[in-house]
Amino acid sequence: MVQLFETHFRHGYLKINTGKKPYAINNEPKAFAYNWLFLHPMSNTDTHETDQVAILTEQHALQKAGGLHWFHWLVVSLSLLLTLGVWQYSRVQVQEKIENRFSREADQVITLISERLQKYEDALWSGVATISSHNGDMNKQQWQVFATELHLPVKYKGINGIGVIHNVPGEKLNTYLQQQRQMRPNYRIHPQHNNGYLLPISYIEPEIDNLAAVGLDVAHETNRLTAALKARDTGEAQITGPIILVQDAEKTPGFLFYAPFYDNLKTDSLEERRNQFAGMVYAPFVVHKLMRGTLEKNRRQVGISISDNGEYLYDENKKNEIDFDPNPQFKKTYAIDVYGRQWNINVWSTNAFRKETQNAQPMLILIGGILIDTMLLSLFLLLSRANRRALMFAERMSESYQHKAQELQKSVSRLETSNEELAQFAFAASHDLQEPLRTLSNFSELLEEELAGTEQSERVLLSVKFISEAAERMRNLVFGLMSYSRIGRAPTLTQVNCNTLVTHVIADLDAAIDAQLTNISVGSLPTISGYETELHMLFLNLISNALKFKKADTQLQLNIACVDKGKDWCFTVSDNGIGIETEYLDQIFMIFKRLHSQDTYPGSGIGLANCKKVVNLHGGKIWVDSSLNKGSTFCFTIPKVIIL
Ligand code: ADP
């Protein structure tokens, strides 16, 4: 046990008492270096303080590294900024998309209104063309046929009807009335006025819906008259400003749409147009009917209001409207010229539009980004908490190791003291025993000599011989013990040329070598770093054993060799001697262990124990490969670098 500790401490496993500053335990530097720092200070006060400072510095650095730092906050802030940036970008993109959609829808509404009016204008001009094809005039029945062909309720939902207004100059009034009363005796022009023109509605289809309009003189009021004169003068279709149609029971705003026709087709100049002006095909509009069909409210997600010179023709901006949005997202105003009038059309987004275009993407990005940032921050916090806990744990472990190291150090000191005391005792005892044993041996030899030639009985002589031999054996044992205890006492590490060393050993054993029956082969041996005296003893024991345990009447073949095993030299001393039974291979290295009687092979049983101690002193290993009657090979390693 003592030896084990000695070897371990000497050769770098723990290195507690060497006074140097190893940085590793079993060559595993980082993992245990921290703990080692607590093992080491026991040996050297200066180094201890330096190490303590290093530990505290490292602990402080680790504690700092374990907390949250500016770069953690930077990462989180950057991530947050990125989230806000992406959110803002996505919001703008979505807003732009929705705005474009609104613009498209609003433009579409305007286009539809324009197209619809265009379509009605076409209907009026087709009426004009039909009149022309009837040589400038048509009677009520013919007009009825034409109007029926138009399929007004189906194709022209916006108009109340289509009719004909005649320009009746004063001199032709009677003729006109006669003509009209042929089929309608009650026909009359109304209301009376002094505006200088007579522009009565002669017939309108379907008449049943427009009875109130039949005979109405559109010249009776300025709005209707102005548009009519404008149509006359321009030759183009015109509409009136907002009016309430006489035939509209609901009294909602509307307008009249005129297309003029002339007696003569040549109407290039204003004068010609005024002179030839025969009348107008007209259509009364109720604006809310204009919105039927493709412009129906449920077909769009925008609200519309139409005003003419500040007067509303149509207005959906009312609380009771479906999908009314008191605070619309988007609004747009169009000023469009419509057949001689200017309409202001306001378009705005409705609640349906808001619902339809609701886009959760920016909000999802924002929430997702904030969630990720929160998770990132939590992760940092968790990591820093884990770091702090790991540090606390490491500190606790260090303290525990420090305590254990101190305990171990004490044990080692105690062991070393007792080891030293034991070695001293063994040396002193064996040294002091030498003298009385030598005396005993000398006197027994003397007694033997004196008894020789006398008539003492053979039994006495034999007893004296036994005493003498026992004293000799005892001396050998004590000598062996003394040499064993001497091994490793203040050895000096030198460069040892093993070839020279082995040559010297063989020379020392020269007397014991029977040249006839011995063949010694020594390979190329290296020069190694080691303890020369001890190595000499090692080879001496191994070679002398080979000489001793040779087979009788067989030439001894002794081979000494060495191979390079990287970190170690591996020496072998092999013989073709009597060999060793397998079960004893480990035991023979124990002190006083012998496998033979003194009579067969004399010896002390200390030789191989010495060998083992020498190899251990160098930090190597020793073992034997052998089988009975087939020789033995003793192997031992010597590290190339001896750790003190
Ligand atoms: P001893 O004084 O008996 O030689 P050692 O410690 O040197 O003591 O050897 C212990 C025992 O190991 C020996 O008694 C012997 O039985 C065995 N032994 C040692 N070397 C050899 C060898 N080369 N061949 C066979 N047996 C050996």
The residues, any chain, with a CB within 8 Å of residue 65's CB and separated by 6 or more, are 387
What's the pLDDT score for residue 454?
74
Q: What Å distances lie between residue 299 and 106, 109, 292, 294, 351, CA to CA?
A: 12, 10, 10, 7, 14
Closest ligand 1 atom to residue 606 Cα is 6
pLDDT digits (tens, 9 = 90+) for 89-99: 999 999 999 99
The answer, yes or no, to whether any atom of ligand 1 lies below 6 A from the CB of 595, is yes
Q: Minimal CA–CA distance to 252: which of 281, 284, 296, 228?
A: 284
The answer, yes or no, to whether any atom of ligand 1 lies below 6 A from the CB of 543, is no
Residue 122 has pLDDT above 90, yes or no: yes
Average pLDDT estimate for 128-148: 91
What's the pLDDT score for residue 500?
96
pLDDT digits (tens, 9 = 90+) for 55-80: 777 777 776 766 778 888 898 899 99
Residue 22 has pLDDT above 70, yes or no: no
pLDDT digits (tens, 9 = 90+) for 520-567: 999 999 999 999 999 999 999 999 999 999 998 899 999 999 999 999
Ligand 1 midpoint to CA 160 (Å): 138
Greater confidence (292 vs 342) lies with: 342
Average pLDDT estimate for 123-131: 94
Neighbours of 369 (CB within 10 A): 19
The answer, yes or no, to whether any atom of ligand 1 lies below 6 A from the CB of 608, is yes
Reported as a pLDDT band with limits 50, 70 and 90, residue 18 is very low
Is the pTM of the predicted complex or chain greater than 0.75?
no
What's the pLDDT score for residue 546?
95
310: left (phi over 0), alpha (psi -120 to 50) or beta: left
User: DSSP string of 371-426?
Assistant: HHHHHHHHHHHHHHHHHHHHHHHHHHHHHHHHHHHHHHHHHHHHHHHHHHHHHHHH
The answer, yes or no, to whether any atom of ligand 1 lies below 6 A from the CB of 578, is yes
The answer, yes or no, to whether any atom of ligand 1 lies below 6 A from the CB of 373, is no
329 vs 302: CA distance, rounded Å = 10
The answer, yes or no, to whether any atom of ligand 1 lies below 6 A from the CB of 15, is no
The residues, any chain, with a CB within 8 Å of residue 639's CB and separated by 6 or more, are 11, 567, 568, 569, 618, 619, 620
Reported as a pLDDT band with limits 50, 70 and 90, residue 247 is confident
The overall average pLDDT reported for the chain is 86
The answer, yes or no, to whether any atom of ligand 1 lies below 6 A from the CB of 632, is yes
What's the pLDDT score for residue 46?
54
Ligand 1 midpoint to CA 121 (Å): 135
Is residue 624 packed enough to be buried (19+ CB in 10 Å), middle (13-18) or exposed (0-12)?
buried
The answer, yes or no, to whether any atom of ligand 1 lies below 6 A from the CB of 580, is yes
What's the pLDDT score for residue 47?
56
Greater confidence (341 vs 441) lies with: 341
Nearest CA to ligand 1 atom 19: 545
Reported as a pLDDT band with limits 50, 70 and 90, residue 50 is confident
Percent of the chain with pLDDT over 70: 91
pLDDT digits (tens, 9 = 90+) for 411-466: 989 988 887 788 778 788 778 888 888 888 888 888 888 887 777 677 888 888 88
Average pLDDT estimate for 164-179: 94
What's the pLDDT score for residue 24?
34
**Phi and psi of 578, rounded to 5°?**
-75, -15
Greater confidence (618 vs 460) lies with: 618
Residue 483 has pLDDT above 50, yes or no: yes
Ligand 1 midpoint to CA 547 (Å): 10
Ligand 1 midpoint to CA 549 (Å): 7
The answer, yes or no, to whether any atom of ligand 1 lies below 6 A from the CB of 549, is yes
pLDDT digits (tens, 9 = 90+) for 584-602: 999 999 998 999 988 899 8
